Amino acid sequence: MKNIIRYTLITFCLAFSIQNSSAQMYSSLTYDVSFPLSHEVIDFIDDTSWRGFTFKVGGEITENIGAGIYSGWYVFNEKVRGEQITTDISTLSGVQFRYINIVPIMADVHYRMANSGDWTPYGSLGIGTYFFKHTTDVGILRISDDEWHFGLAPEVGVAYHLRENSHLLLSIRYNHAFPTKDWNTQSFFQINVGLMWSEW
């Protein structure tokens, strides 16, 4: 946990120093569809998530390189029948409603191909922390567990120029949350579409 906090603070300090400079600013908002990848996620919920968004803000360092910060909220959910839950004191049966809530808090650095016309390809790498919360509802009972993970999020995409300072964004992102003392690796893949406001 101390290492997670340390790495996150370092990356956020870098991002804030860029944003507080004279760098050209940008912001974006995307709708995100998520697909589970790691066994830790799939074994709990193997359905696609249609509920998610990401908000980014940052600044340009050079014509091609920029850095910023982002956060969001992604929710996996699934209705499960015919499985039992065994706890330390009892075994529960019934229809289960399972949820995974994920909140990333990341700093990222991106590279974009400048002067590429209306379509601008880019790639980025996010570094920071993920909050995961697994919840199971059975009748009136709720069982939940949560954990913070250090993680990385490589992303590639393209920005299409719509009008002055407005762009359509299309991207794919891989999210990798490293294991902790009590939890295994959590990973998922995303397809994102949204808008960016920038002078790209």
pLDDT confidence of residue 163: 87
Pairwise CA distance, residues 125 & 105, whole Å: 13
Q: Look at residue 4 and tell me whether its pLDDT is greater than 60.
A: no
Number of domains in the chain: 1
Question: Per-residue pLDDT tens for 44-102?
Answer: 999 999 999 999 999 988 889 999 999 999 999 999 987 777 666 667 777 899 999 99
Burial (CB < 10 A; 0-12, 13-18, 19+), residue 178, is middle
Q: Which residues contact 17 (CB under 8 A, 6 or more apart)?
A: none
Range of the domain at 68: 2-197
The pTM of this model reads 0.86
Q: Look at residue 11 and tell me whether its pLDDT is greater than 80.
A: no
